[in-house]
Structure 1
Amino acid sequence: MPIQSECRNRIANLQRQLERKELDGALVIYPIDLYYFAATRQNGMLWVPQSGEPLLLIRKSLTRARQESCITELRPFPSSRELSGLLGRPGQKVGVTFDVLPAAQLDYLKKVLPEREFVDISGINRNLRAVKSALEVARIRHAGEQLSKVFAQVPDFYTPGMRELDLAAEFESRSRKLGSEGYVRMRAYNQELFQGLLVSGGSANQPGFFDGAVTGCGLSAASPHGASTAVIAPNLPLMVDYTAVHDGYIVDMTRIFVPGNIHPEVQHAFDTALKIQRQVTAALRPGAVASELFDLACGIAAEAGLGDCFMGVPGEQAKFVGHGVGLELDEMPVLAKGFDVPLQENQTIAIEPKFLLAGHGVVGIENTWAVGPEGGIRLSPADDAIVTLPT
């Protein structure tokens, strides 16, 4: 089966990194990492020794894990007293992902696995997951094809006078019916997202916690993100920015709709966003430096007279123009200042140049791409053009 081959390759890649870092093994605990290496998201712990076969211990559901997992050695989770004899030996160095491991969980590991040195392998894990296999790229492409179908249907289910929330609910319903799983997983602490966001006119200018160009008003102070109960305004841009998730893999897309007439300033900003997308994605080749692509995007925005409103409201602008996507929405690499790292083939990146225009709202574009030998390979096929809606 393809997933069995995938898992063998992923574990072998991890073991090579463990050997290079002189680590005796790694404990994989975070659910989405467990899914990546073991093909099951059940509650458990995966022990990957530097060499030899991994061991998967499952709390719940053992039955489901046995149905799904590619790991041959799979057992029920033992008592704490038994763990030490199963997971390495005293004196060994064990890799864990400190970026997502709660302090209480680390304290537990230190208690049940005494005399081990726990070492952070967050960077190793994220870099391994950043480069996608052909199967992973195909899954993201499938998600892009399904989401593109929903974007194409917006003129069919939009009616004048709709609230942002009503249109968002209809969009989300249709996406779910096409198989989107809805779980938009994010690794960053204190970040969350419910499928996507849909904002119109002034709603786009509401600042917020979300680490992106646009937050929206949301429905309350407890969920201050995405669509609100505001009526969609005529003659102002309506931004529909959504994910779709299939087999755990995320695609990220944005399209602009305008009920009525497109203002020349909006059209100018949109044309600039397309220019940024065109030039940045043409440069999505192995060896291109992530921070330099961010500088390229900022330069085009400044040249168009839009630097102050690029990627957010002035003073609260997002510091990136592209982010890795895969099993999580915020994977590596990031096209941002300070990320002076070369791209690698088959990294998958959402490129999202957006502008927040005073008096108009947000306008821009977002598509998901794979890094390819001749430039970015598009994984989200919906047409980029602004769509005019009735008023």
Structure 2
Amino acid sequence: MPKIEVIRKKILESGLNSFFFTKRSDIFYMTYFNSSNAYVILTDKENIFITDGRYYESAKEKLKDWKVILLGKDNKNILEDLTEILLEKGGKSIGFQEDSVTLSFYKKLTEKTDLKERLIGFTNFIDEIRMIKTEDEIQIIKEAVKKTDIVFKKLTSEINKFKTELDVRRRIIDLIFEMGGTGESFPAIVASGKHSAVPHYETDNFPIEKNSPLLIDMGMKLKGYCSDFTRTIFLGDVDHEIRKIYEIVKEAHIEAVNTVKEGVKISEIDRTARKIIEKYGYGDYFIHSTGHGVGIDIHEIPRISKNNDDVLKENTVFTIEPGIYIPGKGGVRLENIVVCRKNQPEVLTETSLDLLTF
């Protein structure tokens, strides 16, 4: 069933006449059209795309199966215009994304009419639909991952010429564009020495230390979808304890991946990685979940967490990224993107998990 019809079915099963979408990534998911100011209304029969004059002509040309409506026509206030469209098209029961609109937007939209009585708020309305990727989506993510592997290979081939963390990040961005990406899927983390012990460190103009770990966490946007990738490499000699935790993280990563198959509890994937790290006495230093879904957004459901007892579904795409972080010393994280197939995992990332020194 086409994705729009799957969403429409959920709308009707929820007892709604229509649904008003405001979340940018959900709108892209339904239309594959990028706009910084767009809204979608799905009714039982109509697909309605609403945007302003900057995108209107392009949307009319590209969205052949959609009724495209121009916002702000005849110098109307955009929010008043939206209100009129919702009153005309939405029916008496209109779902909306209360998790993606501001309170100010909601108040202005509903202050002059009975629209407030018609709107029913939902959170994460189509997240579970988006979680199961189509083969076309998987192929785009696979392409993004392959290009990210190449970025990493090119980056490490010249790693010794960089002086600071920001030098490395600048080169990552250049390489993403050289490979055809449209940008970073998140600001790359380049963490040298003790900074590698901070899982979401903010890259700085800090000198890259010799004889220390260098954690590189990066991803690219390609055709609207994200990749995500982390390796910890070493410049010069490797400290004995850091080498030890590298091998522990690698073992935890491999065992977690081997747990992946349709029907397994998601918590089992996390617990598999966590038990291995705990076995070696480093449980207190694994301070985040084992992974997260990836797609149009860099963080999607499912969260690969010990507290998530949902079962894994076929064609879910997510990261496996255990880590150990020793404050003041350094850390190791190893991250690949995995697709859950029926009876086994498909690991999209091809870069080796073996320890790399330069």
Question: How high is the TM-score relative to the length of structure 2?
Answer: 0.91
* 1:234-313 equivalent positions in 2, closer than 5 A: 234-310=210-286
Alignment-derived partner of residue 196 in structure 2 = 204
Cα 1:110–1:340, aligned 2, differ >3 Å: closer, same or farther? farther
Give the secondary structure class of the aligned counterpart of 1:271. helix
Alignment-derived partner of residue 187 in structure 1 = none
- Please tell me whether residue 352 in structure 1 is matched to residue 318 in structure 2: no
Structure 2: state its 5+ residue gaps: none
After TM superposition, which residue ranges in structure 1, 4 or more long, deviate above 6 angstroms? Answer: none
Equivalences, count: 347
Deviations, residues 273-327 of structure 1 (Å, cap 9, x unaligned): 22222121122212111223222221111001111111xxxxxx32x11100101
- Please tell me whether residue 337 in structure 1 is matched to residue 306 in structure 2: yes
Alignment-derived partner of residue 87 in structure 1 = 89
Q: Which moved more, 1:120-129 or 1:65-74?
A: 65-74
| CA contact 2:197–2:329 (8 Å) conserved in 1 | no
Q: Which moved more, 1:121-130 or 1:142-151?
A: 121-130
Among 57, 77, 96, which residue is 1:63 paired with? 57
Alignment-derived partner of residue 215 in structure 1 = 200
Alignment-derived partner of residue 119 in structure 1 = 120
| CA contact 1:38–1:70 (8 Å) conserved in 2 | no
Deviations, residues 247-273 of structure 1 (Å, cap 9, x unaligned): 111110011211112223222212222
Alignment-derived partner of residue 372 in structure 1 = 341
Alignment-derived partner of residue 163 in structure 2 = 162
Amino acid at match of 1:250: C
Q: Which moved more, 1:148-157 or 1:246-255?
A: 148-157
Amino acid at match of 1:205: A
Cα 1:70–1:234, aligned 2, differ >3 Å: closer, same or farther? farther
For residues 326 and 104 of structure 1, what CA distance do their matches in structure 2 show? Answer: 29
For residues 328 and 155 of structure 1, what CA distance do their matches in structure 2 show? Answer: 27
Deviations, residues 336-391 of structure 1 (Å, cap 9, x unaligned): 133221111111101111111245311120011111112221122222222211xx
Cα 1:240–1:306, aligned 2, differ >3 Å: closer, same or farther? same
Cα 1:265–1:70, aligned 2, differ >3 Å: closer, same or farther? farther
Give the secondary structure class of the aligned counterpart of 1:298. helix
Cα 1:157–1:112, aligned 2, differ >3 Å: closer, same or farther? farther
For residues 112 and 142 of structure 1, what CA distance do their matches in structure 2 show? Answer: 48
For residues 340 and 113 of structure 1, what CA distance do their matches in structure 2 show? Answer: 43
Alignment-derived partner of residue 3 in structure 1 = none
Amino acid at match of 2:308: F
Give the secondary structure class of the aligned counterpart of 2:40. strand
| CA contact 1:39–1:68 (8 Å) conserved in 2 | no
Alignment-derived partner of residue 33 in structure 2 = 40
Cα 1:343–1:321, aligned 2, differ >3 Å: closer, same or farther? same
Amino acid at match of 2:131: A
Q: Offset at 1:111? A: 3.7
Give the secondary structure class of the aligned counterpart of 1:55. strand
Cα 1:70–1:137, aligned 2, differ >3 Å: closer, same or farther? farther
For residues 308 and 107 of structure 2, what CA distance do their matches in structure 1 show? Answer: 32
Deviations, residues 123-161 of structure 1 (Å, cap 9, x unaligned): 331111111100110011000010100111123222256
| CA contact 1:83–1:113 (8 Å) conserved in 2 | no
| CA contact 2:196–2:332 (8 Å) conserved in 1 | no
Cα 1:263–1:102, aligned 2, differ >3 Å: closer, same or farther? same
Alignment-derived partner of residue 108 in structure 2 = 108
Cα 1:205–1:342, aligned 2, differ >3 Å: closer, same or farther? same
Give the secondary structure class of the aligned counterpart of 1:229. coil
Deviations, residues 194-230 of structure 1 (Å, cap 9, x unaligned): 2x11101112235xxxxxxx122xxxxxxxx2x2222
Q: Which moved more, 1:364-373 or 1:289-298?
A: 289-298
Alignment-derived partner of residue 233 in structure 1 = 209
Give the secondary structure class of the aligned counterpart of 1:267. helix
Alignment-derived partner of residue 291 in structure 2 = 322
Alignment-derived partner of residue 27 in structure 1 = 20
For residues 163 and 253 of structure 1, what CA distance do their matches in structure 2 show? Answer: 20
| CA contact 2:248–2:280 (8 Å) conserved in 1 | yes
For residues 264 and 121 of structure 1, what CA distance do their matches in structure 2 show? Answer: 51
| CA contact 2:19–2:90 (8 Å) conserved in 1 | no
| CA contact 2:184–2:219 (8 Å) conserved in 1 | no
Amino acid at match of 1:117: R
Structure 1: state its 5+ residue gaps: 1-7, 185-192, 207-213, 217-224, 311-316
